[in-house]
């Protein structure tokens, strides 16, 4: 804590470098900068306390400072132990006008390479705005902050936290420990936090899936806006973002030649499509695995071989998971791969590659080549290279998606936060999407920067199509 500002970052002296990178990013984030200009005077987030759990990168720094510029008091953590850019975290704490000795920015609790225990400690700091005040709003990515509030409130009502079970993932053990400590200190903390929340805006596919599940089970405690399924989010960030950051992660991790290699992509959703396109663009021969006949057919008609992992596991040089699910690559697959095959995941959680099974495999050893690159050697001498310990390697081994595409994602986040804060009566404890006119607005904000000249409908054409000249142009069921 310095001068009343609480934070935990790697090194405040990195702030100057972070600030210069933020300034470059601002130039590439026209959507966020336009929203800042549009709302500077009205300050629609004045008085809002916003707690964010989303990769603490340079691009996120521009989001945080946009929320602050619209009047919000912000606290932030990363939603992944490896994804923080330490210079961005330092710059956000120091703030545009502060110095490392006198930081005047935002409370950030994040550094690259947290342990899981530190990760959950940071997440807990999110909820304490001082003087017993909690947040009004959450920005979440993957749903960990939302999950913590829900489990906390449920265990408080039940009057106790269950003991971890023998098969529990380390992540769950950490959450249960944290909630047990919290309950011992204050038996209504998360119940009060949940009651005070006007809502959450959720960034990614996995987090949104968790929200719909809570809503289906009647357990959702506050309104939620699904930002991921804005068209200008998932059809851009998930696809074009990964098209950029996936080869970046592979290159920085291994610098292996991609051309000519066999690359297997598990999952042909939005992220898988961008991944496959990038790898093909580098001259790799790409094979897709899918469980959904529609996506499998899409992959085939896009010209990719679609196979079962067992059929291609011995041929692949590179394996990427993008399923959002669990167990896409099992230890039996890892054991059959060729020597030094590269294995990495870009789905949100580290559940897609069975690394626990790998660690328990008889005779296997692990060598750190460099941080976030590990060579796992089997008893027979052959090895696989695992990136970012099975967590999002486009963020762990590189710096995530580039600014321009994150501007579209984060413009949706800002609009969702304004909506939840200023129109609380519109929203029940359910999951919503932003209206289409706002989706189109986000796209519009990014056209000038690319020199796009949009054609305008005539009155007659609009009448024929049955739409307004100024939009929205498509029905809700339209799929883009
Ligand atoms: P999606 O639902 O569009 O695609 C996932 C695809 O995987 C689906 O088509 C599904 O049928 C398929 N699938 C599921 N289980 C499978 C299995 N065992 N084997 C083969 N295919 C399987 O989801 P989206 O939007 O593509 O997201 C995928 C993951 O990436 C999510 O975890 C999401 O949160 C994450 N994400 C990561 C980003 C990053 O920067 N790394 C950016 C955006 C999303």
Distance 269 CA to ligand 1 centre (A): 6
**Tens digits of per-residue pLDDT, 354-388?**
999 999 999 999 999 999 999 999 999 999 999 99
79 lines ligand 1 (CB under 6 A): no
Distance 365 CA to ligand 1 centre (A): 30
Q: How far apart are CA 207 and CA 54, in angstroms?
A: 11
191 lines ligand 1 (CB under 6 A): no
Confidence of residue 230 (pLDDT cuts 50, 70, 90): very high
388 lines ligand 1 (CB under 6 A): no
264 lines ligand 1 (CB under 6 A): no
| The last residue of a domain, from among 396, 420, 450 | 396
270 lines ligand 1 (CB under 6 A): yes
The whole-number average pLDDT for the span 209-238 is: 98
Please tell me whether 86 is known to bind a ligand. no
List the CATH number of the domain containing 314: 3.40.50.720
Does residue 71 contact residue 418 with C-beta atoms inside 8 Å? no
| The last residue of a domain, from among 346, 378, 396 | 396
Q: How many C-beta atoms lie closer than 10 Å to residue 127's C-beta? A: 24
| Both structure tokens of 257 | 């030649």
Does residue 218 contact residue 157 with C-beta atoms inside 8 Å? no
Mean of the per-residue pLDDT values of the chain? 97
Shortest-distance Cα residue to atom 37 of ligand 1: 347
Ligand 1 atom with least separation from CA of 400:
40
Strand-strand pairing, 318-321 and 341-345:
parallel
Residue at 294 is within a domain: yes
Q: How many C-beta atoms lie closer than 10 Å to residue 44's C-beta? A: 17
Does residue 356 contact residue 368 with C-beta atoms inside 8 Å? no
Torsions phi, psi for 165 (to 5 deg): -95, 160
Residue at 447 is within a domain: no
Closest CA to 407 of 132, 29, 123: 29
**Is 226 found in the same domain as 343?**
no
What is the pLDDT, as a whole number, of residue 168? Answer: 86
Shortest-distance Cα residue to atom 41 of ligand 1: 346
**Is 66 found in the same domain as 192?**
yes
Q: Which of 164-173, 182-191, 236-245, 368-377 is predicted least confidently? A: 164-173
Q: How far apart are CA 194 and CA 200, in angstroms?
A: 11
205 lines ligand 1 (CB under 6 A): yes
| Both structure tokens of 145 | 């902050």
310 lines ligand 1 (CB under 6 A): no
Task: Indicate whether 169 pLDDT > 90.
Answer: no
Distance 159 CA to ligand 1 centre (A): 37
Task: Indicate whether 167 pLDDT > 90.
Answer: no
What is the pLDDT, as a whole number, of residue 291? Answer: 98
**Is 131 found in the same domain as 113?**
yes
The residue range of the domain holding 318 is: 246-396
322 lines ligand 1 (CB under 6 A): yes
Distance 323 CA to ligand 1 centre (A): 3
Shortest-distance Cα residue to atom 44 of ligand 1: 238
403 lines ligand 1 (CB under 6 A): no
Alpha helices (runs of H) in 337-475, residue ranges in sequence order: 355-360, 393-396, 403-422, 436-444, 459-465
**Tens digits of per-residue pLDDT, 391-445?**
999 999 999 999 999 999 999 999 999 999 999 999 999 999 999 999 999 999 9
Question: What are 417's strand-pairing partners?
Answer: none
Q: How many C-beta atoms lie closer than 10 Å to residue 246's C-beta? A: 29
What is the pLDDT, as a whole number, of residue 65? Answer: 98
The whole-number average pLDDT for the span 323-351 is: 98
Closest CA to 387 of 352, 413, 426, 357: 352
**Is 186 found in the same domain as 150?**
yes
Q: What is the tally of structural domains in the chain?
A: 2
Distance 325 CA to ligand 1 centre (A): 7
Closest CA to 5 of 94, 81, 69: 94
**Is 166 found in the same domain as 44?**
yes
**Is 204 found in the same domain as 79?**
yes
**Tens digits of per-residue pLDDT, 64-79?**
999 999 999 999 999 9
**Is 324 found in the same domain as 294?**
yes
DSSP string, 236-288: TIIIIIHHHHHHHHHHHHH----TT-EEEEE--SHHHHHHHHHHHHTT-EEEE
Shortest-distance Cα residue to atom 2 of ligand 1: 269
Closest CA to 316 of 336, 296, 302, 290: 336
Backbone angle region of 71, left / alpha / beta, with phi > 0 → left and psi within -120 to 50 → alpha: left
**Is 256 found in the same domain as 132?**
no
448 lines ligand 1 (CB under 6 A): no
Task: Indicate whether 301 pLDDT > 90.
Answer: yes
DSSP string, 110-155: --TT--HHHHHHHHHHTT--STT---SEEEESSSHHHHHHHHHHHH
Ligand 1 pocket check: which of 226, 238, 265, 327 to mutate, most ligand atoms within 8 Å of Cβ?
A: 238
Residue at 179 is within a domain: yes
Q: How far apart are CA 90 and CA 21, in angstroms?
A: 12
Query: Which residues, other chains included, contact 59 with Cβ-Cβ below 8 Å and sequence gap of 6+?
Result: 25, 29, 400, 401, 402, 403, 406, 407, 410
**Is 230 found in the same domain as 108?**
yes
- H/E stretch holding 1 reads none
31 lines ligand 1 (CB under 6 A): no
169 versus 161: which is more confidently predicted? 161
What is the pLDDT, as a whole number, of residue 393? Answer: 98
Closest CA to 53 of 210, 232, 220: 210
Residue at 446 is within a domain: no
73 lines ligand 1 (CB under 6 A): no
Q: How far apart are CA 148 and CA 145, in angstroms?
A: 5
What is the pLDDT, as a whole number, of residue 367? Answer: 98
Strand-strand pairing, 365-370 and 373-377:
antiparallel
What is the pLDDT, as a whole number, of residue 222? Answer: 98
**Is 323 found in the same domain as 212?**
no
List the CATH number of the domain containing 73: 3.40.50.1480
- Classified as helix, coil or strand, 51 is strand
206 lines ligand 1 (CB under 6 A): yes
Please tell me whether 274 is known to bind a ligand. yes
Give the long-range contacts of residues 472-480, CB within 8 A, separation 24 or more: 472/435, 472/436, 472/437, 472/439, 472/440, 473/440, 474/436, 476/436, 480/231, 480/235
Residue at 202 is within a domain: yes
Percent residues over pLDDT 70 in the chain: 100
The whole-number average pLDDT for the span 87-101 is: 97
C-alpha count within 13 angstroms, C-beta hemisphere, residue 147: 20
Residue at 6 is within a domain: no
Please tell me whether 233 is known to bind a ligand. yes
Closest CA to 395 of 76, 8, 28, 55: 55
Distance 348 CA to ligand 1 centre (A): 8
Residue at 467 is within a domain: no
Ligand 1 atom with least separation from CA of 142:
34
234 lines ligand 1 (CB under 6 A): yes
Does residue 191 contact residue 215 with C-beta atoms inside 8 Å? no
Radius of gyration of the chain (CA): 23
Confidence of residue 324 (pLDDT cuts 50, 70, 90): very high
Residue at 251 is within a domain: yes
**Is 252 found in the same domain as 186?**
no
Distance 35 CA to ligand 1 centre (A): 30
Task: Indicate whether 170 pLDDT > 90.
Answer: no
323 lines ligand 1 (CB under 6 A): yes
Q: How far apart are CA 406 and CA 22, in angstroms?
A: 13
Strand-strand pairing, 341-345 and 365-370:
unpaired
**Is 332 found in the same domain as 256?**
yes
What is the pLDDT, as a whole number, of residue 447? Answer: 98
């Amino acid at each position: 804590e310095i001068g009343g500002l609480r934070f935990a970052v790697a090194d405040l002296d990195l702030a100057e470098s972070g600030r210069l990178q933020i300034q470059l990013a601002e130039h590439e984030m026209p959507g966020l900068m336009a929203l800042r200009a549009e709302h500077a005077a009205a300050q629609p987030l004045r008085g809002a306390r916003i707690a964010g759990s989303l990769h603490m990168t340079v691009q996120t720094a521009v989001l945080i400072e946009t929320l602050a510029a619209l009047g919000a008091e912000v606290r932030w953590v990363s939603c992944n132990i490896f994804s923080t850019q330490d210079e961005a975290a330092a710059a956000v704490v120091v703030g545009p006008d502060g110095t490392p000795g006198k930081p005047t920015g935002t409370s950030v609790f994040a550094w690259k390479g947290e342990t899981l225990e530190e990760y959950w400690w940071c997440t807990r700091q999110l909820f304490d705005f001082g003087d017993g005040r909690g947040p009004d709003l959450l920005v979440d990515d993957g749903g960990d902050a939302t999950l913590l509030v829900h489990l906390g409130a449920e265990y408080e009502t039940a009057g106790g936290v269950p003991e971890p079970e023998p098969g529990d993932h380390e992540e769950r053990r950490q959450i249960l420990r944290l909630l047990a400590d919290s309950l011992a200190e204050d038996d209504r903390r998360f119940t009060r936090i949940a009651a005070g929340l006007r809502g959450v805006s959720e960034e990614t596919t996995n987090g949104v899936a968790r929200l719909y599940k809570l809503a289906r089970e009647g357990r959702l405690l506050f309104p939620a806006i699904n930002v991921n399924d804005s068209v200008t989010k998932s059809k851009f960030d998930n696809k074009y973002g990964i098209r950029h950051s996936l080869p970046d992660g592979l290159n920085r991790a291994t610098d292996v030649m991609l051309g000519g290699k066999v690359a297997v992509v598990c999952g042909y959703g939005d992220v898988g499509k961008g991944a496959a396109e990038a790898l093909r663009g580098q001259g790799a021969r790409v094979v897709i695995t899918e469980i959904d006949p529609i996506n499998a057919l899409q992959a085939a008609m896009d010209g990719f071989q679609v196979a079962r992992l067992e059929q291609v596991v011995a041929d692949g040089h590179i394996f990427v998971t993008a399923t959002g699910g669990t167990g896409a690559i099992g230890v039996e697959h890892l054991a059959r791969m060729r020597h030094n095959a590269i294995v990495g995941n870009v789905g949100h959680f580290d559940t897609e590659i069975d690394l626990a099974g790998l660690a328990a495999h008889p005779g296997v050893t692990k060598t750190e080549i460099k941080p976030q690159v590990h060579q796992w050697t089997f008893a027979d001498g052959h090895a696989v290279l695992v990136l970012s310990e099975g967590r999002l390697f486009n963020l762990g081994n590189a710096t995530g998606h580039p600014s321009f595409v994150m501007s579209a994602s984060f413009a949706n986040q800002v609009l969702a936060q304004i909506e939840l804060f200023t129109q609380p009566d519109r929203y029940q404890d359910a999951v919503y999407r932003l209206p289409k006119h706002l989706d189109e607005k986000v796209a519009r904000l990014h056209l000038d920067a690319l020199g796009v000249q949009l054609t305008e409908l005539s009155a007659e054409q609009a009448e024929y199509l049955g739409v307004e000249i100024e939009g929205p142009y498509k029905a809700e069921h339209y799929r883009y």
